Structure 1
Amino acid sequence: MSTWRFDQAATRKSLAWMIVKDEYPFSCADGEGFSDLCATGMPKFQIPSRQTVSRDCYELYVAERLNLKKLLQLECQRVCLTTDTQTSIQRINYMCITAHFIDRKWKVQKIILNFCPISSHRGENIGKAIEKCLNDWGIDEVMTITVNNARSSDTAIAFLKKKMKNWPDGCVMNSEFLHM
């Protein structure tokens, strides 16, 4: 047997991971049931406020984003992107961009790079949002981009082809097979 020591910081980090993994609201730590559980299982744990939980989750996001950037730099030669746009019930336009690549151990990786609001479903706006996302992540070697069959997707890909021609290693075979 070994001795165990309570660690407030580690427990707060674990709470943040629980909220992210299980998609709980930040307020879950405010509940009476959670308080009873902590009083029974971890009586030394000082339950953080909703604002502190929110801050802990954001710090977790920042750290994980840095880890993913390192993974992309070290393990990735080329990425294949998939993207799609939707409109929410509140009439807000959204776009999701996912990167797919094979790492050095030949394992397929799939990472959501961005889930963001966009100003419209116009092709140039979509292309600019994809370009900004690639720049933010430091991705400059793209193999393919898979999109739906909307006309705006053709415009977005045409916009990106023009931009990527100026990138040192932007596309394979002069962007001939970029659009999927």
Structure 2
Amino acid sequence: MTSSENNGSSNPSITPIGNQQSPMMVDEDNTTPCSTSLDRPEDAQAQPNNEIIEERGRLKSVVWNHFKKRKVDGKDKAKCNYCTRLLVGGSKNGTKHLHDHIKICPRKKFKNNRDMKQKILVRDQHNVDSMASVNAYHFDQDESRKELARMIILHEYPLSIVDHIGFRRYSTSLQPLFKMVCRNTIKDIMSIYDHEREKSMHEIEKNRSKIAITTNMWTSQNKKFIYVSSPHTKEVFYDVLLQTLLEWNIDRKLSTMTVDNCSTNDAVINIILDKLQRSTLVMRGSMLHMRCAAHVLNLIVQDGLNVIGSCIEKVHESVGFWTGSTKRRQRFTDTARQLHVECTKELDLDCKTRWNSTYLMLSTAIEY
């Protein structure tokens, strides 16, 4: 037995003289004996500071927490958990090169926020005020692209939002792994449309009830549900409408069709009736044509407003003048205050095709 007399403390390791067994090391933390790295040939070339962990009774380098062993063409390979790169992984190659790769792995720096096994706070996506819970998180590029497309559809954002620098920086801060798409390649919206259309057609096919159709026409540069080319004749309307009915397989499930009360729509319905099988329609199609009640009411009100049309035009011009600029609005407000007018409503300019807007304009103007 040897002892250290220089510092007055005994040596923590005791080696019997003449013993042919391998030397033993004592872990000062838990005092459990473990073999040295010399007992394993695959760790003979490892770095001096290599940590050794125990796994099912066998000693294993901690570097294998970052790699998985794979067989490729009969050879042992080590696959990186982060960049999926394959390196030699045989027992004779040691682990030093694996440690070196972990230090320079380009994706390893995002380990803390993208590790597939990490636990994070996850909220219910459909409830903003939901309680957060700890769940396993797995990043999916395809799923994120679908959510981006759903967001654009839901809020009617322009496709160019994916090119906005601020939006790109914000997305990167949330998930650095997400590869932003450009507006010319975001085909996910059409994929979602095709998927939802197929689901809707399946539900329609299962439903034995009749379907009521309501149509309307308006001019818009941004929204096109079903494009109708010019000129808007009865032949064009008929062709688009019938094609849509056949496309959705609802030509034999119609109950009524509600359209504006105009002569063009009357002619369109007559042509549609000649092309459909009357035996599939309610009362052989006599109840198919329904005139829009709102449109009929609007026509009645417009006839009444024509009686005072000159007065309405004068009010319209006056309101249009005072709401033409911010300076004029402020001058009108100041004058009304000086005259002790109690009304504080904003002047509203009417839209001549909407009778209720004319009513709102007159009701406010009368108070002033």
**What's the TM-score, normalizing by structure 1?**
0.78
User: Secondary structure of the equivalent of 1:157?
Assistant: helix
Separation (CA, whole Å) in 2 of partners of 1:150 and 1:64: 34
Q: Is 1:172 matched with 2:285?
A: no
Q: Show structure 1 runs of 5+ residues with no match.
A: 97-113
One-letter amino acid of the counterpart of residue 260, structure 2: N
> Residue 12 of structure 2 aligns with which residue?
none
Deviation at 1:87, TM superposition (A): 4.2
> Residue 264 of structure 2 aligns with which residue?
152
Is contact 1:118–1:129 with CA below 8 Å preserved after alignment?
A: no
Say what the alpha-carbon RMSD is for the aligned residues: 2.0
- Give the alignment partner of residue 85 of structure 1, picking from 217, 232, 240: 217
Separation (CA, whole Å) in 1 of partners of 2:220 and 2:232: 13
CA gap of 1:137–1:48, structure 2 versus 1, over 3 A, is: same
Give CA deviations for 1:50-104 in whole Å, capped at 9, x if unaligned. 2222x11111111111111112111352111111223458xxxx9x8xxxxxxxx
Is contact 1:85–1:121 with CA below 8 Å preserved after alignment?
A: no
Is contact 2:210–2:255 with CA below 8 Å preserved after alignment?
A: yes
Q: Is 1:70 matched with 2:182?
A: no
Give CA deviations for 1:101-146 in whole Å, capped at 9, x if unaligned. xxxxxxxxxxxxx522234322232122111100011112110011
Give CA deviations for 1:141-179 in whole Å, capped at 9, x if unaligned. 11001111110010000001111136x62x110111111
Percentage identity across paired residues of the two chains: 30
User: Secondary structure of the equivalent of 2:227?
Assistant: strand
Higher RCO (Cα < 8 Å, 6 or more apart): 1
Q: How does 1:24-43 map to 2 (within 5 A)?
A: 24-43=157-176
Separation (CA, whole Å) in 2 of partners of 1:57 and 1:35: 19
Q: Show structure 2 runs of 5+ residues with no match.
A: 1-133, 291-368
Separation (CA, whole Å) in 2 of partners of 1:80 and 1:46: 44
Is contact 1:83–1:147 with CA below 8 Å preserved after alignment?
A: yes
**Greater share of helix:** 1
- Give the alignment partner of residue 127 of structure 1, picking from 226, 238, 245: 238
**What's the TM-score, normalizing by structure 2?**
0.40
Q: Runs in 1 of length 4+ with deviation above 6 angstroms?
A: none
Aligned residues: 155
**Greater share of strand:** 1
